[in-house]
Amino acid sequence: MAAPALPRTCAPVRLWLALGHAVYLGPLLRLGPHSSAIACLGVGLDAPFTVRTDGIPDLTARSFLFRARVRYEIRDGAGRMLFCYFDPTSARMSRCLGGMRRVTDALCTDHRHEADLIDLATQDEVDFEKVLEAASIPVVGTGDARIAHAAARIRADPARPQRAEAAAREAGLSRSHFMRKFSGQTGTSFRRYVQWARILRVAEAFAHGHDFTRAAADAGFASPSHLTGTFRGMFGLTPTALAALDPRLLLKEHDGTDPGG
């Protein structure tokens, strides 16, 4: 099935990538229902937007927290959007839920820094570090260092085989205990976190001029179609459809330390 045509705007589409984090700034795309691997904060820069999820009435907001592993669809809206994905194990941030002013039937809206985010994202020169910091919520606890270490190992080399059993063994935990702690601390599953790390590796490779076939293999995907299916399920469109927007990819160099710094 052919991907739907995506809107063109005069404003450039920008994707900012750091270790474990990503920020999208561009037009509101008509995406199919999808489920992100990690939490994502969406902000309508020009207007509110309407979100639909199973079993709950549509909700219109200017800022909305898309929780990990929950299927959502943006049904209505216009103008530019800001999407902030931030690594859930970062020492600089915890779950974004604490930053949302309204929680209705498990839907979270009205980020406390909504006005600041709109202002920062509509500057001529966007400081993505400041955007991500405003979208983030300061850590209220240190979390389990074993889980943070396991996540860091995934990010460092997502292409290698990632097995929960091996990660649990290294952490000195049973598999079931490790999986519960990983999900509780990150808000997502071990498998979905691996997918997220591999998607980021694909984006980095694409930014360096590699095609999606090579990028998929280098990131640990079994095939380009495996990448396409995972990407569509996570973002509601294919990598090729996003690339058609000719996004400007911005990479933050890192030294392998914790993504939150």
Q: Average pLDDT in the 235-252 region?
A: 88
Nearest-5° angle of CA 201, CA 21, CA 5?
A: 70
Q: How far apart are CA 259 and CA 228, in angstroms?
A: 26
Q: Average pLDDT in the 2-25 region?
A: 69
Q: Average pLDDT in the 234-251 region?
A: 89
Residue bearing the bigger pLDDT, 124 or 119:
119
How high is the pLDDT of residue 97? 59
Residue bearing the bigger pLDDT, 258 or 214:
214
Would you place residue 76 in the very low, low, confident or very high pLDDT band (cuts 50, 70, 90)? confident
pLDDT digits (tens, 9 = 90+) for 25-54: 999 887 889 998 888 899 999 999 999 988
CATH architecture designation of domain 14-251:
Orthogonal Bundle (1.10)
Query: CA of 29: how far to CAs of 48, 96, 105, 157, 220, in Å?
Result: 14, 23, 25, 31, 27
Asked whether residue 261 carries a pLDDT value surpassing 60, the answer given is no
Please state, as a whole number, how many other Cβ atoms lie within 10 Å of the Cβ of residue 111.
Answer: 26
How high is the pLDDT of residue 203? 92
Least-confidence region, from 19-23, 76-80, 123-127: 19-23
| The 40-44 sheet, strands edge to edge | 100-104, 107-111, 63-66, 40-44, 80-85, 21-27, 14-18, 248-251
User: Domains of the chain: which residue ranges?
Assistant: 14-251
Nearest C-alpha neighbor of 140 from the set 98, 85, 87: 98
Residue bearing the bigger pLDDT, 5 or 77:
77
Residue bearing the bigger pLDDT, 88 or 8:
88
Least-confidence region, from 12-16, 142-146, 201-205: 142-146
**Three-state SS at 169:** helix
Q: Average pLDDT of the chain?
A: 84
